[in-house]
Chain A
Amino acid sequence: MSEMSKIVRTISNIAFPFSMIYGLYVIAHGHLTPGGGFQGGAIVASACAMILVAFGSKWTITKIKEKRLSVFESLGAIGFIVLALLGLIFGVAFFSNFLAGSKYLFGTIPPMGSGLANIDTGGVLPLMNFAVGLKVIAGLFVIVLVMAYATTSFKEAKK
């Protein structure tokens, strides 16, 4: 995939930070507003795919290697499973929410019913959202990047 025209590159340069911030917002507020790790990760991966389409796969692969993205994806998976296992150690069961109600990170219990949202709530849910978000960002983007780069080099090898 070669790079597109200058108009497309400029517009995606402008739109990239906004969509990135929106996706990270959806991940960080997963326990308060609609959305979560999967949805926000899909938004951020779409922003990265927009950059890939606009600038071409050769330029993008010089900025980030697919091996590093695989490492990020595995880190997200390991973090998710480690948080679940910590629930087995500190809580009562696998996936039990051991941070909710404690006085540590994210431990506040919100008042019953609808009201103002406090980001310092949710127990392990925000941490799990971060882990899953990292996993989805890296996973979806590495799929697009590897496919784009492989088809490019395959076409050049045929010529």
Chain B
Amino acid sequence: MLNRNIAAVIVFTVVAVFFVFSALLMHPFGIPEESDMDDYIIDNTQEETGANNGVTSVVFDYRGFDTLGEATVLFTAVAGVIMIFRRLKNE
């Protein structure tokens, strides 16, 4: 039991030190290091997609596959819930 406690303390210390150092090494908020993609989307989203909302144009146009995956996840969740509870209802 003592060994497990010592191991837990060591793991906790390592993880805590890692978190503190990564928090200190973070670059300032709101200033991305590489902003090529952001600048491209901010400059061209109104001409290319015709939408004023840049987030929607990214979600449905530039990264449409991601939204397709989200829709698939929702569909799978609904199918699973209906399957489970229909079985419960019939019994």
**Is the contact region of chain B dominated by helix, strand, or loop, or is it mixed?**
helix
Which residues of chain B are near A50, meaning CB under 8 Å?
Answer: none
Interface segment out of the listed A1-9, A10-18, A134-142: A134-142
Count of residues in B whose CB is under 8 Å from the partner chain? 31
Contact of A77 among B49, B75, B82 (CB under 8 A): B75
* Contact status B82-A32, CB under 8 Å: no
Which residues of chain A are near B4, meaning CB under 8 Å?
Answer: none
Task: Identify which of residues 113-159 in chain A touch chain B, using a CB-to-CB cut-off of 8 Å.
Answer: 113-114, 117, 121-125, 128-129, 132, 135-136, 139, 142-143, 146-147, 149-150, 153-154, 157
* Contact status B75-A142, CB under 8 Å: no
Which residues of chain A are near B89, meaning CB under 8 Å?
Answer: 149-150, 153-154
A-B contact count (CB 8 A): 122
What's the least CB distance linking B63 to chain A, in Å?
A: 9
Q: Look across to chain B and name the residue whose beta carbon is closest to the beta carbon of A30.
A: B56
Q: Look across to chain B and name the residue whose beta carbon is closest to the beta carbon of A69.
A: B78
B3 within 8 A of A: no
What's the least CB distance linking B81 to chain A, in Å?
A: 5
Q: Look across to chain B and name the residue whose beta carbon is closest to the beta carbon of A67.
A: B82
For the complex, give the distance between the alpha carbons of A95 and B75 in Å: 20
* Contact status B52-A110, CB under 8 Å: yes
What's the least CB distance linking B13 to chain A, in Å?
A: 41
Interface code B56-68, partner A: CB below 8 Å = 1, 0 otherwise?
Answer: 1101110011011
* Contact status A136-B74, CB under 8 Å: yes
Q: Look across to chain A and name the residue whose beta carbon is closest to the beta carbon of B89.
A: A150
Which residues of chain A are near B71, meaning CB under 8 Å?
Answer: 77, 80, 132, 135
Can you list 12 A-B contacts with CB-CB less than 8 angstroms, sorted by A residue number?
A: A32-B53, A34-B53, A36-B53, A66-B82, A84-B68, A101-B50, A117-B52, A122-B57, A129-B56, A146-B82, A149-B89, A150-B86
List the 6 closest A-B pairs by CB distance, nearest first: A95-B64, A150-B85, A31-B51, A100-B50, A122-B51, A121-B50
Residues of B within 8 A of A (CB): 46-53, 55-57, 59-61, 64-65, 67-68, 70-71, 74-75, 77-78, 81-82, 85-86, 88-89, 91
